[in-house]
Structure 1
Amino acid sequence: KLWKAQKPVITELLAEEGLMPLFSVPWPAQGLYTNGEIKTVEDLSGLRFRAYNAQLEEFAAAAGAAPVQIEAVDIPQAFSTGQVEAMITSPSTGADSKAWDFLTHYSPINAWVPKNIVLVNARVFDRLPEDQQQAVLDAAAEAETRGWEMSKKEAEEKTQVMKDNGITVVEPSAELVEGLQKIGDQMLETWDANASDAAKKILEDYRAM
């Protein structure tokens, strides 16, 4: 639903750069990795938390954790040396970094769903014959549908890989979900105060769906 709300605004912004979005495919939803089960947001307090962007720094601070900038390639060493003690990332990154070597628990909190967008030069696209344009759009629609299905399958498969290698997969408790929702509401309020009218329209359209 969010991509449906975003697409018109993103399409307009990209058009200003001479680009056109063909389709978008998500990463698997982001989950919480820790040593030991996290039952409430308060359990994150004081932990050194991997943060790779401003939003994660804001989240970590709201949870009482200490944000630490760590790139994906450095995850194993950072955990092994105690630089970080918790992170939010996809099951793909968790499995690829062999999280079972340095962590014990994974909780699929579905914090957010990052997306990749495949673009085309708008001028080049416009020069194509109409039948070729339609063929490209049809292929893009099929790729988007297939990509979302593949992302869901990827999440299931990589979660199973972690489970098979000793990671304890725990569904988030009601208390944890409630605490995360409160942080999300706080972050959304901050975002709304600084967002452009176009960005605010995305949220309005999303909520109306």
Structure 2
Amino acid sequence: MSTLTHRIAITTGILLLSLTGAAQAETQWIMATGYPQESFFTKNIEKFIEEIETKSHGELTINLRANGTLIKHDAIKRAVQTGQVQIGEIRPSVYGNEDPMYILDSLPGVATTYKQAHQLMEAQAPFFEKLFGKQNIVPLAYVAWPGQGFFTQMPLNSVDDMKGKKIRIYSQPTREMAEQLGFQATILPFAEIAQAYSTGMIDSLFTSPQTGIDVQIWDYAKDFTYTGTMHTKNAIIVNERALDSLDASLQKIVKDAGKHATERGWLMSQEAAGKNNKIISEHGVAISQASDDIQKAISDIGDSMLEAWRKSAPPEEQEVLDNYLEVRNTSSNQAD
């Protein structure tokens, strides 16, 4: 090889390396979530993004679009799957029509405490990895919602007080529960709650105080009846091809940030649960614990729904439930 040819080869190699580095430095993802900037879920995501951008030295940046401004909440999973956006936050229970596993944490009584919800998450995680994997999606993090309850314009002293009220819920299981309790139930994404109230489509919500704060529920309801009932969870998911396009070190940074988002998110959720009751109370919302007959009605409905879930779920999914129940019951017995 001549000296000139050698120099050209070296120069070309340096140029290619430089262009590759520049391309890597300019990698930008778009992330969609349906929740507002003030939500603890979004605050957790901001920390997740900050960790990735800091540890990657800006080689990977993420443009967060919150509050459903880019994609409606219930369309985010499909958007990530198809690569319309690279990463997003979803509530798996919204997709119960696709697979029974998505709604397991939405069944009344399955996981009524943070401890139980975390045990359920650990039992579900390997199955979810395979389930999402079939759709070109990689789950990165799971964060639980605080306990649930009913926001209404008048107190709920008994099940009879629920009859005929028009309630917004967020999944098929919560719709079934609400209808069996006597509500007229409508599934709506978070972003449509305010409009639904203003048009008279709804007069009640079943949700956590976090959502109540996010929609300024004190403009629409004066009572919150806490039931616990369930701790559903959100998930941060990423397009598999987008993740695979990163080099190994960047992939590790993203996955590690996901683990940290899970750990931090559960703590933030519990913190929020403690603060949120105070916030809604300060805005004039009266808080009460559900009466015994309301809790019994929910419990009975939950038992019936779990039995129906078993009939719809394949053996592998029933095994996930059985493994979780064994851990939950063992833990409960040890506590006793």
TM-score by length of 2: 0.55
Aligned to 2:149: 31
Secondary structure at 1:39's aligned position in 2? coil
Residue 197 and residue 148 in structure 1: after superposition, are their counterparts in 2 closer, same or farther (change >3 A)? same
Shift of 1:46: 2.1
**For each residue in 1:15-49, what CA deviation from the matched residue of structure 2 results, as whole angstroms up to 9, or x when unmatched?**
33444333211233332111222133332122222
Mapping of residues 11-90 of structure 1, within 5 Å: 11-90=129-208
Contact kept in structure 1, 2:244 and 2:251, CA below 8 Å: no
Mapping of residues 37-186 of structure 1, within 5 Å: 37-120=155-238, 121=240, 124=244, 128=248, 137-186=255-304
**How far, CA to CA, are the matches of 1:41 and 1:191 in structure 2?**
24
**How far, CA to CA, are the matches of 1:9 and 1:134 in structure 2?**
21
**How far, CA to CA, are the matches of 1:136 and 1:98 in structure 2?**
34
Contact kept in structure 1, 2:177 and 2:298, CA below 8 Å: no
Contact kept in structure 2, 1:95 and 1:159, CA below 8 Å: no
**For each residue in 1:52-83, what CA deviation from the matched residue of structure 2 results, as whole angstroms up to 9, or x when unmatched?**
43223211221122223444334344335543
Which moved further from structure 2: 58-67 or 12-21?
A: 12-21
- Select which of 175, 197, 207 maps to 2:315: 197
Aligned to 1:188: 306
Unaligned runs of 5+ in 1: none
Contact kept in structure 2, 1:22 and 1:140, CA below 8 Å: yes
Residue 6 of structure 1 pairs with residue 6 of structure 2: no
**How far, CA to CA, are the matches of 2:170 and 2:255 in structure 1?**
34
**How far, CA to CA, are the matches of 2:139 and 2:186 in structure 1?**
34
Aligned Cα root-mean-square deviation (Å): 2.6
Shift of 1:6: 0.5
TM-score by length of 1: 0.84
Larger Rg: 2
Contact kept in structure 1, 2:225 and 2:288, CA below 8 Å: yes
Shift of 1:135: 5.6
Residue 199 and residue 167 in structure 1: after superposition, are their counterparts in 2 closer, same or farther (change >3 A)? same
* AA in 2 matched with 1:164: E
* Percentage identity across paired residues of the two chains: 29
**Greater relative contact order (Cα 8 A, min sep 6): structure 1 or 2?**
1
**How far, CA to CA, are the matches of 1:206 and 1:9 in structure 2?**
12
* AA in 1 matched with 2:300: K
